[in-house]
Amino acid sequence: MSETKREKQPDEFELISRLSAKLPTGDSVVGGAGDDCAVIDAGVPGLWQLHKTDAVVEGVHFTRDADPQQVGHKALGRALSDIAAMAGTPRWATVTLGLPDGFDAETVESVYDGMAALAKRHDVSLVGGETVANPERLFIGVSLVGEVARDKCLLRSGAAVGDGVWVTGELGGSIAGHHLTFTPRLAEAQWLAANFKPSAMIDLSDGLAGDLGHLLTSANAGAELLESALPIRREARLRAKESEAAKPPLLAALTDGEDYELCFTLGQGQAVALLDRFKQEFPDTPLCCIGKIVDRPGLKIRQKTGLMEIATRGHVHFQ
């Protein structure tokens, strides 16, 4: 008797694609699955609602010995970063807390202290949630609602051939600590939308290669990046020097993920004005133009030796 052939387990994005096809939507849905946030027309003049849910899991997004306040910061900060990618303003959050056997109440309170501190910084109200048992490990899910002016909302789609590709901050090596302490780029995103209106924007959570790939898919285009222009984090370079098993700095910048920076595209002719004004407004936030959108699909890196093709794939769950 022949064995029944088992279907190969899908990865994160394959599963999302399959499930998205089953989601019912109504007339109030401006944009559903497929962007950083869902965009909802709730009937408020001039405004759309932004809805986002995210989760962190012990052993996947943080270790058991991580500072619990930083774990709370990260749990809320991930959702805030997605609101930032749409140039929105976060408003209300609910939290689902899955607690392992033998949990320590003081540790849980510290997690909430971390969330509360970040929430206060951005005028977010934590309005409730759910607490359940999750025997093996700590799980924190955050659902966040924000708002954005209809004429300022930024989507992943919209990049055009010739647009510059830009990133805030630095990339790679986030495991050294940045992934627990990052600052969501809400102020920068709102300023960009108000003053330059990028053609497309996304937050960098799964790595530059993978997240930029989403923009390219939406635009049916490709990108050519300049290796020397990539703002690689010092920790990524140090890890490469200290361990032969570590990723080369370029690969770390492209695929490490959890940078929580903004990647956006902007039309030609605005670079000088953007750099000057951005530096005046945000002197502590680096901003770099790292390449351009091109008409041929795919992602390429221009190095001294020529063009190298890069897979548009960052961190993926279930692979």
Domain ranges of the chain: 31-149, 164-310
Structure tokens at 81: 């970063």
Please tell me the predicted confidence (pLDDT) of residue 35: 82
Closest CA to 162 of 199, 217, 203: 199
Please tell me the predicted confidence (pLDDT) of residue 239: 92
Please tell me the predicted confidence (pLDDT) of residue 245: 84
Please tell me the predicted confidence (pLDDT) of residue 27: 83
Whole-prediction pTM: 0.91
Looking at 3.90.226.10, 3.30.565.10, 3.90.550.10, 3.30.1330.10, the CATH number of the domain 31-149 comes to 3.30.1330.10
Please tell me the predicted confidence (pLDDT) of residue 227: 97
DSSP for 12-62 reads: HHHHHHHHHTT----TTEEE-BTBSSEEE--S-TTEEEEEEEEEEEBTTTB
Closest CA to 12 of 33, 31, 29, 30: 33
Structure tokens at 225: 């990046």
Distance of alpha carbon 219 from alpha carbon 197, whole angstroms? 17
Distance of alpha carbon 90 from alpha carbon 81, whole angstroms? 10
- Give the architecture (CATH level 2) of 164-310: Alpha-Beta Complex (3.90)
Please tell me the predicted confidence (pLDDT) of residue 10: 67
Closest CA to 208 of 264, 266, 253: 253
Please tell me the predicted confidence (pLDDT) of residue 117: 98
* Residue 233 near residue 172 (C-beta atoms within 8 A): yes
Structure tokens at 171: 């990339």
Q: Each residue of 78-112: b (16+ CB within 10 Å) or e?
A: bbbbbbbbbbbbbbebbbbbbbeeeeeeeebebbb
Distance of alpha carbon 65 from alpha carbon 179, whole angstroms? 15
Residues of the chain with pLDDT under 50: 1-5, 314, 316-319
Please tell me the predicted confidence (pLDDT) of residue 2: 42
Q: Is it true that 31-149 and 164-310 share their CATH fold?
A: no
**Which residues are registered as beta bridge partners of 131?**
97
